[in-house]
Amino acid sequence: MKTIQVQLGQRSYPIHIKSGLFKNFPDLLMETNHGQKWIIISQHGLMELFGFELMAKLKEQSFNIDYISVPMGEAAKSMKEFSNVMSQLTEFECDRSTTVLALGGGVVGDLAGFAASTFMRGIEYFQIPTTLLAMVDSSIGGKTGINIAQGKNMIGTFYQPKGVLIDPDFLNTLHRNEVIAGLGEVVKYGAIWDADFLQEISDWLDDIVSFPFEKAVKRSCKIKAEIISLDERESGLRRLLNFGHTIGHALESYLGYGRIRHGEAIAHGMQCSGWISERLNLLSKEDADYLNITINKLPLPKIKNIHGNNLMSFIKMDKKSEKGILNFVVLKGLGKAAISIDVSEKMLQQSLKVLH
Ligand SMILES: NC(=O)c1ccc[n+]([C@@H]2O[C@H](COP(=O)([O-])OP(=O)(O)OC[C@H]3O[C@@H](n4cnc5c(N)ncnc54)[C@H](O)[C@@H]3O)[C@@H](O)[C@H]2O)c1
Ligand SMILES: [Zn+2]
């Protein structure tokens, strides 16, 4: 088992990663069991796949455990579902000692983490990610949240879990397109932080069927943990994790949520950002091409008929556009991300041509 530590003083926590780790979850959770109430927050399909088995295993070890099921999709990250979770926690007679297990993808993780951070002013929770995106990204770093009509993730907290338990074998049942989308974030880690890793990913993508997920998850988590340990609240370094996200978020909003997956949108966003970095003379043509070729190895949905003007309003709304200045993540070389404030509207619009 590989254990990576997120170093945040008293709020430090481990990320345990290993194929087949599922069967060891009770052992890993045992030391935090003091007879309190445990609640799995998950979705029905995931309870059928993994949750009921986990509950049975934990009950065998005398855990006092129940579960709460939330709907599938982004709709679960709503005030209504948040309120439902709060009511159910109360009905189960949960108290300040209760521990939550967030079993699912980013949707479950964000909602369950937010619920844990607010129920009785905060109770402990573990992230048990089941999608690739959640394994390498959303389960680490303590960003929790829900959506309101005015925007995605508008309400939320920074609230670190007690630990993250990752079994890459969970990916065996995940829809292929969800896996591909998660790979977008994996490519991002190589692009912003580790050129050797990017090269490995690029080679692995030549034979996607034998992609070594366990290895890739470990490396990605290590990078994210390192960045979070240095900048928990996104005041500097953590912003680099937004590489590809300014344009990616705009594509998601413009096309409509559900039309394009987050990881797919940011993969396209990274292609545009590569082009912009080259245009700013920060990235060589050779390196920009390499990034592009790597991303093109992912079978992404084709983007048609995007006019720069249509995207601009979404880009302006992006919260990274602070006080009128767009903090845009560029590459100063493969594996070396930086913030640029020199990216013009025109450049953003022109960059979209790499998607056609
Ligand atoms: N907190 C953060 O730092 C952070 C970072 C990135 C994204 N996010 C959030 O994550 C969310 C997206 O998460 P996601 O991409 O994991 O999507 P998701 O949670 O909606 O999961 C995708 C689908 O796959 C199903 N599923 C999950 N695991 C499965 C498995 N092992 N086998 C079969 N089916 C499985 C789910 O039930 C769901 O239908 C967004 O709401 C986004 O805002 C948060
Ligand atoms: Zn992302």
Q: Which of 149, 146, 79 is nearest to 106 (CA)?
A: 146
Q: Is the pLDDT of residue 164 over 90?
A: yes
CA of 45 to the centre of ligand 1 (A): 13
Q: Which CATH superfamily is domain 176-355 in?
A: Dehydroquinate synthase-like - alpha domain (1.20.1090.10)
Q: Annotated catalytic, 121? A: yes
For residues 68-88, give the mean pLDDT: 97
In short, whether 156's Cβ falls inside 6 Å of ligand 1 is no
Residues 6+ apart with CB under 8 A from 76: 43, 70, 107, 108, 111
Count of other CB atoms within 10 angstroms of residue 342: 11
Q: Annotated catalytic, 215? A: no
Residue 13, token pair as written in the block: 């926590």
Q: Is the pLDDT of residue 26 over 90?
A: yes
Distance CA 114, CA 303 (A): 33
Q: Is the pLDDT of residue 355 over 80?
A: yes
In short, whether 169's Cβ falls inside 6 Å of ligand 1 is no
DSSP sequence for 261-301 = -HHHHHHHHHHHHHHHHHHTTSS-HHHHHHHHHHHHTS-PP
Q: Whose CA is nearest to atom 12 of ligand 1?
A: 106
Which tens digits make up the pLDDT trace of 242-258? Answer: 999 999 999 998 988 77
CA of 244 to the centre of ligand 1 (A): 19
For residues 81-93, give the mean pLDDT: 98
Which tens digits make up the pLDDT trace of 181-201? Answer: 999 999 999 999 999 999 999
Higher pLDDT, 85 or 315: 85
Q: Annotated catalytic, 249? A: yes
- Please work out, in degrees rounded to the nearest 5, the angle formed at the alpha carbon of residue 105 by the alpha carbons of 159 and 319: 55
For residues 139-146, give the mean pLDDT: 98
Candidate from 110, 179, 257 with most ligand 1 atoms within 8 A of CB, to mutate: 110
pLDDT of residue 233: 94
CA of 243, nearest ligand number: 2
Which residue among 16, 18, 77, 185 is the active-site one? 185
Q: Which atom of ligand 1 is nearest to the CA of 108?
A: 19
Candidate from 138, 147, 166, 213 with most ligand 1 atoms within 8 A of CB, to mutate: 138
Distance CA 159, CA 165 (A): 17
Q: Which atom of ligand 1 is nearest to the CA of 263?
A: 15
Of the listed ranges 153-167, 253-267, 324-338, the least confidently predicted one is 253-267
* pTM of this structure: 0.97
Q: How confident is the model at residue 316 (pLDDT cuts 50, 70, 90)?
A: confident
pLDDT of residue 157: 98
CA of 217 to the centre of ligand 1 (A): 15
Q: How confident is the model at residue 325 (pLDDT cuts 50, 70, 90)?
A: confident
CA of 106, nearest ligand number: 1
Q: Do domains 2-173 and 176-355 have the same CATH topology?
A: no
Which residue among 37, 219, 245, 336 is the active-site one? 245
Q: Annotated catalytic, 31? A: no
Looking only at the bridges linking them, the beta strands covering 143-148 and 151-158 are antiparallel
In short, whether 147's Cβ falls inside 6 Å of ligand 1 is no
Q: Whose CA is nearest to atom 30 of ligand 1?
A: 174
In short, whether 153's Cβ falls inside 6 Å of ligand 1 is yes
Q: Whose CA is nearest to atom 37 of ligand 1?
A: 72
Which residue among 121, 285, 346, 356 is the active-site one? 121
pLDDT of residue 322: 67
Q: How confident is the model at residue 151 (pLDDT cuts 50, 70, 90)?
A: confident
Q: Is the pLDDT of residue 320 over 60?
A: no
| Residue ranges of domains in the chain | 2-173, 176-355
CA of 172 to the centre of ligand 1 (A): 15
Q: How confident is the model at residue 225 (pLDDT cuts 50, 70, 90)?
A: very high
pLDDT of residue 150: 82
Which residue among 37, 218, 249, 268 is the active-site one? 249
Q: How confident is the model at residue 318 (pLDDT cuts 50, 70, 90)?
A: low
CATH topology of domain 2-173: Rossmann fold (3.40.50)
Count of other CB atoms within 10 angstroms of residue 22: 18
